[in-house]
Structure 1
């Protein structure tokens, strides 16, 4: 049984780590075998749980917090070290061949995106291990989270185009190609490592866009924070990830004290904006407690006090409603439909690039490999309506033999 995966994200400082830890403690105390893992380089998950949590060296290295609850922090040194060594040795050889000083070469071989790759590979390992019923991921702040979640599809897109040609080159004409390039070519071992990463990334992408995974956005009822949360909802939908709830954190209890009353009024207005903005997505509220909720007992109490304010939040084990891309037939034409809540037509830029459709929403880009039926079509028009991007394709007659 695939575990239920919940990724928790939000603007830095809104309490996403506390929210993630409270959700994990609550799931574990309800009888679920639960892992809470942090992908944030500057994580505070150990502080929230009151445990000494160090970055894991291996996939399997987790720390028991209490019965049925384990925690883990992952980083660039987790799990990918052996595979990365193969690629690193090759890069050092390339840099040496062009005369780069060995000390400088050591610095240049730091793997871009190593933290994100390690986090995804580790998550994929845990999801298939059979050891967990629930996995809660305490993500980095929003920009890093979007980079993390965009990586599986983006890396797969590049590798699908690179690997076949590279392998043919190496097997058919390696000596001549190396001489022509003037650089040492990667060995088949190097390509095998990259291909393995590609396969794992595809598995993780399938998991995170399945009915067993969702994202929860944590925010506070402040205008700047709400604006960023609105943008991340659109960006997550662009990449095909479902948001199952919005958690409004640090809601100040109503009080007659003038200072608190002023905050109550401001937060009420913010909450009203949140309910309107995220219509259709359950909105939860968590109180601003008198003391910082650290340790399992305090986190369990925070989970008990977190209530559903708007909408209906299904049980954690229920299937997640998918918000993915689809293609609808409309007579002789086809319509590609991609949910983009809160987006407007003016926010979206489209470009057709061979067999790919490039969609840019407010600077966040996704390259969509078009299904075969749309590769034989051209874009007729596009627009955003009712929270969906709709791109209409019409057939290229010479690509469609009669009757097909």
Structure 2
């Protein structure tokens, strides 16, 4: 199984690039599924073929679908939504606008992405291409499993035991408020477990790669850098950067000459910024990109010298090594300034904050009971040094 997730700033043409990749893989002999998890679906327009919430065959060995986020939300969140609706009614907040409050921001996109696991484990396909929502939404939903796993392991068991004790008397005391039932709690636990299974798939660099689509423009490049930093911080394997809509040499005369120079300048900046990742290049076409013939041309341009299905780059972003005075945990954090970093430790949890992004890292057994003795940021790597085990932890082990 091969999974390739496409993301990028809105408007860069990631849907066209994702569709072109799917066409290329199908031509190479892979049974390929392309799926859109973006609420603003445009795959149907790209292929010029009507698509639905179940796979529709587009051509030989190629199927496509646009995930129905409302249906997936009902499937995964229905029991919780029903209880929350009752809670709103009890609080006399049951006007039509409260329906919008029953699904948290990003959840619909996450439920859509969970369809990926179902198709990846079905055995029906050799490759799955995912056309994700624009960068901001994608990054937010990809971080949910980490956050919910922590809550499920650390907080949920205590909440569940407390509710079991309180539930019999709560309805009487509160005048009719129904606390969440076992069905609701089981639904939440099941959801988190399914997300953990999904995350195992998308964090496996041998199976899943993320590819970032950019245009040679200042703001797009800045957004791509932020996305790449977050993907590294969260353990996702980014294996290529694809520059889309580059003005070809023959277009760089007259009115377009200044734009051609700008594109060349930013192409060079992209190569310098994302090295050693492979940089693929797609020229701006002379007509609109939709339909199989044009998508085939895009795929041939992007993957002229490489296998579209290959893992084009795989590098370590986290490594532990032993030194004579302790251990060093090394985290790769590209495009981060030293003053953006904040580090804290609480028992077996390490919190790394890089600008607006935060991640909780559960320390491996090797580092348990060891306090941070120092940290250094150099050459886009955060080196965290752990000293000897604390006396309390050694005594506990004895």
Partner-residue secondary structure (3-state), 1:26? helix
Deviates most, 83-92 or 275-284: 83-92
Q: Does the 8 Å contact 2:240/2:313 carry over to 1? A: no
Deviations 1:275-304 (A, max 9, x none): 111111000100111001211121011111
Cα distance, 1:275–1:83 mapped onto 2, change above 3 Å: closer
Cα distance, 1:266–1:83 mapped onto 2, change above 3 Å: closer
Cα distance, 1:271–1:171 mapped onto 2, change above 3 Å: same
Quote the residue 2:226 is aligned against: 231
Q: Does the 8 Å contact 2:15/2:131 carry over to 1? A: yes
User: Taking structure 1 as the reference length, what is the TM-score of the superposition?
Assistant: 0.89
2:290 is aligned with 1:297 = no
Partner-residue secondary structure (3-state), 1:78? helix
Quote the residue 1:334 is aligned against: 327
Cα deviation for residue 14 of structure 1 reads: 1.1
Quote the residue 1:72 is aligned against: 65
Cα distance, 1:370–1:178 mapped onto 2, change above 3 Å: farther
Cα distance, 1:267–1:113 mapped onto 2, change above 3 Å: closer
Q: Tell me, which stretches of 5 or more residues in structure 1 are unaligned?
A: none
The counterpart of 2:162, out of the listed 165, 169, 180, is 169
Quote the residue 2:41 is aligned against: 43
User: Taking structure 2 as the reference length, what is the TM-score of the superposition?
Assistant: 0.90
Cα deviation for residue 113 of structure 1 reads: 2.9
Quote the residue 1:199 is aligned against: 193
Deviates most, 44-53 or 321-330: 321-330
The counterpart of 1:396, out of the listed 367, 390, 397, is 390
The counterpart of 2:302, out of the listed 287, 306, 314, is 306
Q: Does the 8 Å contact 2:33/2:129 carry over to 1? A: yes
Q: Does the 8 Å contact 1:209/1:324 carry over to 2? A: no
Partner-residue secondary structure (3-state), 2:69? coil
The counterpart of 1:10, out of the listed 8, 11, 18, is 8
Cα deviation for residue 28 of structure 1 reads: 0.9
2:18 is aligned with 1:20 = yes
Deviates most, 63-72 or 382-391: 382-391
Cα distance, 1:101–1:302 mapped onto 2, change above 3 Å: closer
Q: Does the 8 Å contact 1:345/1:383 carry over to 2? A: no
Quote the residue 1:214 is aligned against: 209
Cα distance, 1:302–1:163 mapped onto 2, change above 3 Å: same
Quote the residue 2:182 is aligned against: 188
Q: Does the 8 Å contact 1:74/1:115 carry over to 2? A: no
Deviations 1:96-130 (A, max 9, x none): 33343365554432344331231232011111111
Quote the residue 2:94 is aligned against: 101
Which aligned pairs between 1:235-274 and structure 2 lie closer than 5 A? 235-255=230-250, 257-274=253-270
The counterpart of 1:149, out of the listed 115, 127, 142, is 142
- Quote the RMSD (CA, aligned, Å): 2.5
Q: Does the 8 Å contact 1:170/1:188 carry over to 2? A: no
Q: Tell me, which stretches of 5 or more residues in structure 2 are unaligned?
A: none
Q: Does the 8 Å contact 1:9/1:142 carry over to 2? A: yes
- Distance in 2 separating the partners of 1:105 and 1:346: 41
- Distance in 1 separating the partners of 2:397 and 2:347: 25
Deviates most, 120-129 or 368-377: 368-377
Partner-residue secondary structure (3-state), 1:92? helix
Cα deviation for residue 21 of structure 1 reads: 0.6
Deviates most, 181-190 or 198-207: 181-190
- Distance in 2 separating the partners of 1:375 and 1:177: 41
- Distance in 2 separating the partners of 1:324 and 1:176: 51
Q: Does the 8 Å contact 2:282/2:302 carry over to 1? A: yes
Partner-residue secondary structure (3-state), 1:129? coil
Which aligned pairs between 1:293-372 and structure 2 lie closer than 5 A? 293-306=289-302, 316-318=309-311, 321=314, 323-372=316-365
Q: Does the 8 Å contact 1:22/1:302 carry over to 2? A: yes
Q: Does the 8 Å contact 1:76/1:114 carry over to 2? A: no
Q: Does the 8 Å contact 2:107/2:141 carry over to 1? A: no
Q: Does the 8 Å contact 1:7/1:215 carry over to 2? A: yes
